[in-house]
Amino acid sequence: MPTGPVAPVTSVEPTAPGEPAAGSDAAGEAPPEGPPATLWDRMRQDPQYAPEHLALEAVRRLGPEAARWAERVRAEQPGLSPDALADLAVRRFVNRARLSGAVSGAAGLPGAVLDVGVLAWTQARMVLHVAAAHGVDPTHPDRAADLLVLQKVHKVAATARLALGVAAGRERAGALFGTGGQSPLGRVMLRLGVRLAQMAGVRAAKRVFAKVVPGAAIILGTWANSSATKDLAGRAGQLYRQHGPGGVPYPRQG
Protein backbone atom coordinates (compact mmCIF):
# COMPACT_ATOMS: atom_id res chain seq x y z
CA MET A 1 0.00 0.00 0.00
CA PRO A 2 1.47 3.37 -0.96
CA THR A 3 2.52 5.66 1.84
CA GLY A 4 2.86 8.88 -0.12
CA PRO A 5 0.12 11.33 -1.11
CA VAL A 6 -2.49 10.20 -3.60
CA ALA A 7 -1.71 11.82 -6.91
CA PRO A 8 -4.25 14.33 -8.24
CA VAL A 9 -6.37 13.14 -11.14
CA THR A 10 -6.12 15.19 -14.30
CA SER A 11 -7.95 15.11 -17.60
CA VAL A 12 -7.36 16.19 -21.16
CA GLU A 13 -11.00 15.61 -22.10
CA PRO A 14 -12.19 18.32 -24.52
CA THR A 15 -15.05 20.59 -23.50
CA ALA A 16 -18.17 20.78 -25.64
CA PRO A 17 -19.89 24.12 -26.26
CA GLY A 18 -21.92 25.25 -23.27
CA GLU A 19 -20.38 22.69 -20.95
CA PRO A 20 -18.27 23.62 -17.91
CA ALA A 21 -14.76 24.38 -19.11
CA ALA A 22 -11.69 23.59 -17.10
CA GLY A 23 -10.92 27.28 -16.89
CA SER A 24 -7.92 28.69 -15.03
CA ASP A 25 -7.37 29.60 -11.44
CA ALA A 26 -5.56 32.70 -10.24
CA ALA A 27 -2.24 31.12 -11.08
CA GLY A 28 -3.32 30.37 -14.64
CA GLU A 29 -3.56 26.61 -14.07
CA ALA A 30 -6.62 24.45 -14.69
CA PRO A 31 -8.24 23.08 -11.51
CA PRO A 32 -7.54 19.35 -11.13
CA GLU A 33 -10.21 16.77 -11.95
CA GLY A 34 -9.68 15.28 -8.50
CA PRO A 35 -8.47 16.61 -5.15
CA PRO A 36 -4.96 18.11 -5.44
CA ALA A 37 -2.08 16.34 -3.71
CA THR A 38 -1.91 18.93 -0.93
CA LEU A 39 -5.56 18.29 -0.09
CA TRP A 40 -5.05 14.52 -0.11
CA ASP A 41 -2.21 15.03 2.39
CA ARG A 42 -4.43 17.18 4.60
CA MET A 43 -7.32 14.72 4.50
CA ARG A 44 -5.14 11.68 5.14
CA GLN A 45 -3.49 13.37 8.10
CA ASP A 46 -6.82 14.63 9.49
CA PRO A 47 -9.44 12.11 8.27
CA GLN A 48 -12.04 13.09 10.86
CA TYR A 49 -12.43 16.46 9.11
CA ALA A 50 -11.81 15.25 5.56
CA PRO A 51 -15.20 16.48 4.23
CA GLU A 52 -14.64 19.91 5.75
CA HIS A 53 -11.15 20.18 4.28
CA LEU A 54 -12.49 19.14 0.88
CA ALA A 55 -15.37 21.64 1.01
CA LEU A 56 -13.07 24.53 1.94
CA GLU A 57 -10.59 23.69 -0.81
CA ALA A 58 -13.34 23.17 -3.38
CA VAL A 59 -14.76 26.65 -2.84
CA ARG A 60 -11.27 28.16 -3.04
CA ARG A 61 -10.21 26.30 -6.17
CA LEU A 62 -13.43 25.54 -8.02
CA GLY A 63 -15.66 28.48 -7.11
CA PRO A 64 -13.91 30.94 -9.46
CA GLU A 65 -14.04 28.38 -12.27
CA ALA A 66 -17.81 27.98 -11.81
CA ALA A 67 -18.35 31.75 -11.82
CA ARG A 68 -16.37 32.18 -15.05
CA TRP A 69 -18.23 29.32 -16.70
CA ALA A 70 -21.67 30.74 -15.88
CA GLU A 71 -20.62 34.19 -17.10
CA ARG A 72 -19.28 32.77 -20.35
CA VAL A 73 -22.30 30.63 -21.16
CA ARG A 74 -24.74 33.43 -20.32
CA ALA A 75 -22.85 35.67 -22.74
CA GLU A 76 -22.98 33.00 -25.45
CA GLN A 77 -26.63 32.06 -24.82
CA PRO A 78 -28.35 35.05 -23.19
CA GLY A 79 -31.82 33.46 -23.40
CA LEU A 80 -30.82 30.42 -21.35
CA SER A 81 -32.80 30.03 -18.11
CA PRO A 82 -31.04 29.32 -14.81
CA ASP A 83 -32.46 25.80 -14.75
CA ALA A 84 -31.29 25.11 -18.30
CA LEU A 85 -27.85 26.46 -17.46
CA ALA A 86 -27.68 24.30 -14.34
CA ASP A 87 -28.74 21.25 -16.40
CA LEU A 88 -25.68 21.70 -18.60
CA ALA A 89 -23.44 21.39 -15.56
CA VAL A 90 -25.39 18.50 -14.07
CA ARG A 91 -25.18 16.41 -17.25
CA ARG A 92 -21.46 17.06 -17.52
CA PHE A 93 -20.59 16.16 -13.97
CA VAL A 94 -22.92 13.17 -13.71
CA ASN A 95 -21.06 11.74 -16.71
CA ARG A 96 -17.73 12.41 -15.01
CA ALA A 97 -18.97 10.77 -11.82
CA ARG A 98 -20.08 7.70 -13.76
CA LEU A 99 -16.71 7.50 -15.49
CA SER A 100 -14.76 7.72 -12.25
CA GLY A 101 -16.67 4.73 -10.92
CA ALA A 102 -15.97 2.72 -14.06
CA VAL A 103 -12.27 3.41 -14.60
CA SER A 104 -10.95 3.24 -11.05
CA GLY A 105 -11.60 -0.51 -11.02
CA ALA A 106 -10.76 -2.92 -8.22
CA ALA A 107 -7.55 -1.42 -6.92
CA GLY A 108 -8.05 -2.38 -3.29
CA LEU A 109 -8.47 0.06 -0.43
CA PRO A 110 -6.28 2.86 -1.88
CA GLY A 111 -8.29 2.67 -5.10
CA ALA A 112 -11.54 2.83 -3.14
CA VAL A 113 -10.40 5.92 -1.27
CA LEU A 114 -9.22 7.54 -4.49
CA ASP A 115 -12.55 6.83 -6.15
CA VAL A 116 -14.74 8.30 -3.43
CA GLY A 117 -12.40 11.29 -3.09
CA VAL A 118 -12.60 12.05 -6.81
CA LEU A 119 -16.37 11.55 -6.66
CA ALA A 120 -16.79 13.95 -3.73
CA TRP A 121 -14.62 16.52 -5.54
CA THR A 122 -16.61 16.12 -8.77
CA GLN A 123 -19.86 16.52 -6.86
CA ALA A 124 -18.59 19.66 -5.13
CA ARG A 125 -17.63 21.05 -8.52
CA MET A 126 -21.13 20.34 -9.82
CA VAL A 127 -22.83 22.02 -6.85
CA LEU A 128 -20.75 25.16 -7.30
CA HIS A 129 -21.66 25.26 -11.00
CA VAL A 130 -25.34 24.83 -10.13
CA ALA A 131 -25.05 27.70 -7.66
CA ALA A 132 -23.44 29.90 -10.30
CA ALA A 133 -26.15 28.96 -12.80
CA HIS A 134 -28.76 30.32 -10.38
CA GLY A 135 -26.83 33.53 -9.77
CA VAL A 136 -25.49 32.49 -6.37
CA ASP A 137 -21.85 33.41 -5.74
CA PRO A 138 -19.89 30.11 -5.90
CA THR A 139 -16.84 31.73 -4.29
CA HIS A 140 -18.59 32.84 -1.11
CA PRO A 141 -17.44 31.00 2.05
CA ASP A 142 -21.05 29.98 2.75
CA ARG A 143 -20.86 27.60 -0.21
CA ALA A 144 -18.62 25.31 1.85
CA ALA A 145 -21.39 24.96 4.42
CA ASP A 146 -23.88 24.40 1.60
CA LEU A 147 -21.75 21.55 0.29
CA LEU A 148 -21.64 19.80 3.66
CA VAL A 149 -25.42 20.11 4.17
CA LEU A 150 -26.29 19.12 0.61
CA GLN A 151 -23.94 16.14 0.82
CA LYS A 152 -25.52 15.22 4.18
CA VAL A 153 -22.32 15.43 6.18
CA HIS A 154 -24.16 17.83 8.51
CA LYS A 155 -27.88 18.32 8.94
CA VAL A 156 -27.91 22.10 9.26
CA ALA A 157 -25.72 24.98 8.16
CA ALA A 158 -24.92 26.06 11.73
CA THR A 159 -23.16 22.79 12.61
CA ALA A 160 -21.49 22.74 9.20
CA ARG A 161 -20.03 26.21 9.80
CA LEU A 162 -18.80 25.16 13.23
CA ALA A 163 -17.05 22.10 11.80
CA LEU A 164 -15.58 24.18 8.97
CA GLY A 165 -14.19 26.60 11.55
CA VAL A 166 -12.53 23.74 13.40
CA ALA A 167 -11.10 22.30 10.17
CA ALA A 168 -9.79 25.72 9.09
CA GLY A 169 -8.14 26.14 12.46
CA ARG A 170 -6.49 22.73 12.19
CA GLU A 171 -5.35 23.63 8.69
CA ARG A 172 -3.75 26.84 9.92
CA ALA A 173 -2.12 24.94 12.78
CA GLY A 174 -0.42 22.62 10.27
CA ALA A 175 1.69 20.94 12.93
CA LEU A 176 -1.35 19.05 14.20
CA PHE A 177 -1.48 17.04 11.01
CA GLY A 178 1.70 15.22 11.91
CA THR A 179 -0.14 13.20 14.54
CA GLY A 180 -2.10 11.35 11.85
CA GLY A 181 0.97 9.36 10.90
CA GLN A 182 1.01 7.63 14.30
CA SER A 183 -1.96 5.42 13.33
CA PRO A 184 -1.49 2.42 11.02
CA LEU A 185 -1.83 3.57 7.43
CA GLY A 186 -4.53 0.98 6.64
CA ARG A 187 -6.68 2.25 9.50
CA VAL A 188 -6.20 5.86 8.41
CA MET A 189 -7.09 5.06 4.81
CA LEU A 190 -10.18 3.13 5.88
CA ARG A 191 -11.37 5.98 8.07
CA LEU A 192 -10.71 8.46 5.29
CA GLY A 193 -12.57 6.28 2.80
CA VAL A 194 -15.61 6.02 5.06
CA ARG A 195 -15.73 9.79 5.66
CA LEU A 196 -15.42 10.56 1.95
CA ALA A 197 -17.98 7.90 1.06
CA GLN A 198 -20.39 9.55 3.47
CA MET A 199 -19.78 12.90 1.78
CA ALA A 200 -20.21 11.44 -1.70
CA GLY A 201 -23.58 9.95 -0.77
CA VAL A 202 -22.45 6.35 -1.17
CA ARG A 203 -23.05 3.81 1.57
CA ALA A 204 -19.59 3.26 2.95
CA ALA A 205 -19.72 -0.48 3.58
CA LYS A 206 -20.95 -1.34 0.10
CA ARG A 207 -18.75 1.20 -1.63
CA VAL A 208 -15.42 0.81 0.09
CA PHE A 209 -15.38 -2.93 0.68
CA ALA A 210 -16.94 -3.88 -2.66
CA LYS A 211 -14.06 -2.06 -4.34
CA VAL A 212 -11.77 -4.94 -3.53
CA VAL A 213 -13.90 -7.36 -5.59
CA PRO A 214 -12.81 -7.36 -9.27
CA GLY A 215 -15.59 -6.77 -11.79
CA ALA A 216 -18.36 -6.18 -9.28
CA ALA A 217 -16.62 -3.03 -8.11
CA ILE A 218 -16.71 -1.51 -11.59
CA ILE A 219 -20.43 -2.16 -12.01
CA LEU A 220 -21.24 -0.92 -8.53
CA GLY A 221 -19.04 2.13 -8.94
CA THR A 222 -20.67 3.21 -12.19
CA TRP A 223 -24.20 2.90 -10.84
CA ALA A 224 -23.56 4.24 -7.35
CA ASN A 225 -21.59 7.27 -8.50
CA SER A 226 -24.16 8.46 -11.05
CA SER A 227 -27.11 7.76 -8.74
CA ALA A 228 -25.62 9.65 -5.80
CA THR A 229 -24.61 12.56 -8.03
CA LYS A 230 -28.07 12.86 -9.60
CA ASP A 231 -29.66 12.90 -6.17
CA LEU A 232 -27.26 15.64 -5.06
CA ALA A 233 -28.01 17.66 -8.20
CA GLY A 234 -31.70 17.62 -7.37
CA ARG A 235 -31.07 18.91 -3.85
CA ALA A 236 -28.70 21.61 -5.08
CA GLY A 237 -31.15 22.84 -7.70
CA GLN A 238 -33.91 23.06 -5.13
CA LEU A 239 -31.70 24.96 -2.70
CA TYR A 240 -30.42 27.55 -5.14
CA ARG A 241 -33.80 28.26 -6.75
CA GLN A 242 -35.00 29.78 -3.51
CA HIS A 243 -33.79 32.12 -0.81
CA GLY A 244 -31.69 30.96 2.10
CA PRO A 245 -32.94 30.21 5.62
CA GLY A 246 -35.04 32.96 7.18
CA GLY A 247 -35.83 34.53 3.82
CA VAL A 248 -32.34 36.01 3.49
CA PRO A 249 -31.07 35.72 -0.10
CA TYR A 250 -27.83 33.88 -0.70
CA PRO A 251 -24.89 36.10 -1.73
CA ARG A 252 -25.17 36.54 -5.47
CA GLN A 253 -22.75 37.48 -8.20
CA GLY A 254 -22.34 40.98 -9.51
| pLDDT, tens digit, 9 for 90 and up, residues 65-120 | 999 999 999 999 999 999 999 999 999 999 888 876 555 454 567 777 888 888 89
Phi, psi angle pair for 157, to nearest 5°: -65, -35
What is the chain's mean pLDDT, rounded?
77
pLDDT bin (cut points 50, 70, 90) of residue 172 is confident
Does position 194 have pLDDT exceeding 90, yes or no? no
Segment 49-60 mean pLDDT: 96
Does position 220 have pLDDT exceeding 80, yes or no? no
Q: Are 232 and 126 in contact (CB under 8 A)?
A: yes
**Coil vs helix vs strand at 136:** strand
Lowest mean pLDDT among 11-15, 116-120, 142-146: 11-15
Position 127 scores a pLDDT of 97
pLDDT bin (cut points 50, 70, 90) of residue 197 is confident
Residue 86 CA to chain centroid, in angstroms?
16
Phi, psi angle pair for 136, to nearest 5°: -95, 135
Does position 138 have pLDDT exceeding 60, yes or no? yes
What dihedral angle (degrees, nearest 10) is formed by the CA atoms of 110, 192, 32, 145?
160
* Residues 6+ positions from 7 with CB-CB distance below 8 Å: 37
pLDDT bin (cut points 50, 70, 90) of residue 247 is very low
Query: For the chain, which residues make up each domain, given as ranges?
Result: 37-176+185-244
Does position 201 have pLDDT exceeding 90, yes or no? no
pLDDT bin (cut points 50, 70, 90) of residue 245 is very low
**Coil vs helix vs strand at 174:** helix
pLDDT bin (cut points 50, 70, 90) of residue 8 is very low
Q: Tell me how far apart the alpha carbons of residues 123 and 198 are, in angstroms, rounded to a whole number.
A: 12
* Residues 6+ positions from 18 with CB-CB distance below 8 Å: 73, 76, 77, 88
